[in-house]
Structure 1
Amino acid sequence: MRIRAQMAMVMNLDKCIGCHTCSVTCKQTWTNREGTEYVWFNNVETKPGIGYPKHYEDQERWKGGWKLDARGRLTLRSGGRGKRLSRLFANPDLPSIDDYYEPATFDKDILVNAPGGLTDTPVKQPYSTLTGKPMAITWGANWEDSLGGSSGQDDPNLARMTAKVKFEFEKTFMFHLPRICEHCLNPACVSACLSGAMYKREEDGIVLVDQDRCRGWRMCVSACPYKKVYVNHATGKAEKCTFCFPRLEAGLPTICSETCVGRLRYLGLLWYDEDAVLAAASVEDDADLLDAQRSVFLDPNDPAVRQAARDAGMPEDWIEAAAASPVWKLIAEYKIALPLHPEYRTLPMVWYVPPLSPVLDAAGAAGRDDSDADDIFHTIRDLRIPVEYLAELFTAGDTSAVAGVLMKLAAMRSYMRARTLDGTVAQELLDGVGMSAGQVEAMYRLLAVAKYADRYVIPAAHKRQAAELEALGAEHDTCPVSDGPHALEITPLPGRS
């Protein structure tokens, strides 16, 4: 067993109101400059919908992520090293600007300096920030937000559903899905990078791009199934979400988490067994990938795991932070958080608590008892947001896994309502989801009313380690962190995994 540390995020989709504050603050912090006008490290998509860039989930088209070959071995969908070398200057699997959108600006002086007495109201003309020419705005990063799911007919997730979803007015459904880089345990972008510029930090698992080594070959863009690697058209270099690592090193949350209006994001540290990653990503059945990835994570409260972390040189405050991690609780203890498209086999590390429609109202409207476990379960199958759709997003089509999560969330609501109204304990609900009263109440506090310190458990980096890194970099005339994969060739530092 080789124990590693990984910073991870969980988002509770029940709380997302689609305000895009996270997107705007991320934009202002990281991509508010020339060459990144179309780049959104964080964007909020409306589901159902085709996403950003368009149809990014269609891997038959984009060849992103991993697949198993005829011999059961894990291989990149974009092909081997030889195939990527042959496509250095003509890669057919790259999204074009039309798949993103042509960024625009406006000549506001037309409004400010318009003379009085005009018979027609002056209108500001959009201009392309790429060409400077007048243009018509026909698409954008959050274009589907105002369409309320009406563009869902082209959603790749719906195409894979066995039951046809009718987009009639009374059956229309929608919810918001914030997306950032997944900082995967098995990142396809890192493996596809021919220059070695993409790398996964050993100390916390964050995936970054060494700008000095990047040659702009864009294989990382093709290989990323979430299309969260972008190319700065001014520098020709690849850029992506950094998980706000300078803030994390200071013990602060990412900017998207800090400014989230709905308080739906959770940040924390996870331990995982690096030796188990390949086997977990290589399981034959896509439906087994969820359990396989969960099995990679190590229990931070297990004395043997804590000792292994100490033996690996992990600081004591990191060990305690892992034990208090809300991410661990939501993913592995309560098992209500799910990964986005596990079938891509990258083992993503941004997980989601799926949205739960108003199940208690639905149960009452159907003449069912919202305190009865069986009635709630049957109601979940008839909710406005189809379980099949959520399964396509989060469990590779396994509806039972999604239904189990929704059942826990619904049971939590019913239990807490009964306890608050008349002090009763709905034991049947607890038995139905296999949780104790203490677990349900703790889960409720974390999901509903968690304080800042409970949502963000982030151990700061150690100055001692930073000094050692600087000294080691001077000794080798390079920085072991920014040197990407070559950092593995250097003897690990105390306190580093």
Structure 2
Amino acid sequence: MRVMAQIAMVMNLDKCIGCHTCSVTCKQAWTNRQGTEYVWFNNVETLPGQGYPRRWEDQEKWRGGWERTRSGTLRLRAGSRLKRLGNIFANPELPGIDDYYQPWTYEYKNLIDAPAGDDLPVARPVSSLTGEPLDTIEWGPNWDDNLGGAPRNAPRDPIVEKIRDEVGERIRFEFEQSFMFYLPRVCEHCLNPACVSSCPSGAMYKREEDGIVLVDQDDCRGWRMCVTGCPYKKVYFNHSTGKAEKCTFCFPRIEVGLPTVCSETCVGRMRYLGVMLYDADKVTEAASVEDEHDLYPSQLGCFLDPHDPAVVAAAKASGITHEWIEAARRSPVYDLIATYQVALPLHPEYRTMPMVWYVPPLSPVVEAVAASGHDGEDAGNLFGAIDALRIPVEYLAELLTAGDTVPVEAVLHRMAAMRAYMRRVNLGEERDESIAAAVGLTGPELEDLFRLLAIAKYEDRYVVPSAARADADALAEAHPLDDACPVGEAAPGRVLLNLSPTRRSA
């Protein structure tokens, strides 16, 4: 057993209101430079929809992630090393700027400086890349926002195309019969990252101490193989610097015990950060299972119980500090993923072992039951309504469990049981332990799950070990501020994304 630690994130889709605050604050912090006009390390998509970049889930086209060979080993979907070497100067499997969007601004000066006259001045859209006027604006990162793209764009959602024959009339895009929910997305910081394996220059690496995947800007040669290799299309090419860039999981904040910017500013308080301990020796085997439906449980099997004395001893032997082990024990992410098993991975069939997980949305069930005139919090009503969920369970399964509906239904039943059980508690009624038993939990466990999902405080949602703070203080003492780079200024030949103390994992 080779124990390693990973900073992971869970997002509760039941609480996302689609305000895009996380996207805006991330962009202001990390992608407000020349060459990143079209880049959104964090974006919020309305599903069903084509997403950003457009149809990023279509791996038949983009060839991202891993595939299992007949011999049971994994290889990149982009092809063999020889094939990728042959395309190194002209990689055809990349989203174009039209798949992302042509970033634009407006000729505001024309409004301000226009002389008085009978005609009303206008501000034409202008490309932020070329400076040339745009005749029409045809696509953007939030083109599907709030059903804005339905019924024109939503039917082209790759998941909808895949399951439409199976669910038939349950997916309809007339406005009054359509369904939607929000999906915030960041880099998955995978345990088995295809982007790292795709990089010919070795510039992409996964940090040993916290699992965060970064790009060394000095080593990057702009081959863009990592863009193809990432099935989530969360690696971007900076056309100004000629380098690849991606979400850094705000590692300068993580290193001093602070949550990511997107988590800190989340209005819905639906993000959770914590430490997961896992057995690195099991990762390849878990990602190589034959049946895609087994990928979710096989990844669960890689995670280690931080309360197990044998795991703690092995973690200490691997060099994991006491602070990180304690953070893993208090991790809300571990509770949601492993203890209560209400969080699921995004597209496990890509075999990258993602580490940003999601609690699927239940709210439409409650609303639908209440709208029919029945008690929307009654356990019996909720359990029965899940099968008729306006968001088809098959859609959620294709998104989160490689098409296996059983884990999704289990999560939705647990969420429904929590609501029904806690309604009785909050009304002062007698606790009904049969509700908890029906989903394999106890009453106190449902109360703890409710505390975590509904009323958890800041320090309960973000459990990030602050052991690195002592290292940062020591570094500051060793290198006085006079000799350091000013805030916001990079050292010559470096980009501020290159702050990681560990170059690459062992």
TM-score tier (shorter): over 0.9
1:1-400 matched pairs, under 5 angstroms = 1-116=1-116, 118-135=117-134, 136-148=136-148, 150=150, 151-161=153-163, 162-164=166-168, 165-363=171-369, 373=379, 375-400=381-406
Q: CA deviation at 1:147?
A: 3.3
Give the aligned residue type for 1:38.
Answer: Y
Give the aligned residue type for 1:244.
Answer: C
Superposed CA deviations along residues 235-270 of structure 1, whole A, max 9, x for unmatched, are 110000000000000110000001111111000001
Give the aligned residue type for 2:177.
Answer: K
- CA spacing shift, 1:250–1:345, aligned 2, 3 Å: same
- CA spacing shift, 1:367–1:103, aligned 2, 3 Å: closer
- CA spacing shift, 1:400–1:463, aligned 2, 3 Å: closer
- CA spacing shift, 1:131–1:261, aligned 2, 3 Å: same
Q: CA deviation at 1:139?
A: 0.9
8 Å Cα contact 1:180-1:228 kept in structure 2: yes
Task: Provide the residue aligned with 2:448 in structure 1.
Answer: 442
Give the aligned residue type for 2:56.
Answer: Y
8 Å Cα contact 2:144-2:154 kept in structure 1: no
Distance 2:443 2:437 in 1: 10
Superposed CA deviations along residues 149-179 of structure 1, whole A, max 9, x for unmatched, are 6121000011121212222333200111000
Distance 2:27 2:470 in 1: 32
Distance 2:186 2:375 in 1: 39
Give the aligned residue type for 2:80.
Answer: G
8 Å Cα contact 1:46-1:149 kept in structure 2: no
Distance 2:343 2:174 in 1: 30
Task: Provide the residue aligned with 1:495 in structure 2.
Answer: none
Superposed CA deviations along residues 183-219 of structure 1, whole A, max 9, x for unmatched, are 0000000001110000000000000001011000010
8 Å Cα contact 1:372-1:428 kept in structure 2: no
Q: CA deviation at 1:115?
A: 3.4
- Structure 2, unmatched stretches of 5+, are 479-497
8 Å Cα contact 1:357-1:383 kept in structure 2: no
8 Å Cα contact 2:257-2:468 kept in structure 1: no
Length-normalised TM-score, structure 1: 0.92
Distance 1:108 1:480 in 2: 37
Give the aligned residue type for 1:448.
Answer: A
Distance 1:316 1:268 in 2: 15
Length-normalised TM-score, structure 2: 0.90
Distance 2:227 2:414 in 1: 37
Distance 1:31 1:21 in 2: 15
Question: For 2:29, what is the secondary structure of its paired residue?
Answer: helix
Distance 2:278 2:443 in 1: 29
- CA spacing shift, 1:200–1:267, aligned 2, 3 Å: same
8 Å Cα contact 1:45-1:178 kept in structure 2: yes
Distance 1:462 1:21 in 2: 28
Superposed CA deviations along residues 284-334 of structure 1, whole A, max 9, x for unmatched, are 111111100011000011111112112222221111110000000000001
Distance 1:98 1:367 in 2: 46
1:467-482 matched pairs, under 5 angstroms = none
Aligned mate of 1:426, from 413, 422, 432: 432
- CA spacing shift, 1:198–1:119, aligned 2, 3 Å: same
Aligned residues between the structures: 478
Distance 2:12 2:421 in 1: 19
Distance 2:123 2:144 in 1: 23
- CA spacing shift, 1:480–1:229, aligned 2, 3 Å: closer
Question: For 1:131, what is the secondary structure of its paired residue?
Answer: coil
Question: For 2:293, what is the secondary structure of its paired residue?
Answer: helix
- CA spacing shift, 1:380–1:463, aligned 2, 3 Å: closer
8 Å Cα contact 2:287-2:295 kept in structure 1: yes
- CA spacing shift, 1:312–1:138, aligned 2, 3 Å: same
- Structure 1, unmatched stretches of 5+, are 472-478, 489-497
Q: CA deviation at 1:98?
A: 0.8
Question: For 1:98, what is the secondary structure of its paired residue?
Answer: helix
8 Å Cα contact 2:146-2:180 kept in structure 1: no
Distance 1:359 1:104 in 2: 39
8 Å Cα contact 2:365-2:390 kept in structure 1: no
Distance 1:59 1:447 in 2: 33
Distance 2:261 2:374 in 1: 43
Distance 1:464 1:369 in 2: 53
Question: For 1:53, what is the secondary structure of its paired residue?
Answer: coil
- CA spacing shift, 1:266–1:371, aligned 2, 3 Å: closer
Give the aligned residue type for 1:86.
Answer: G
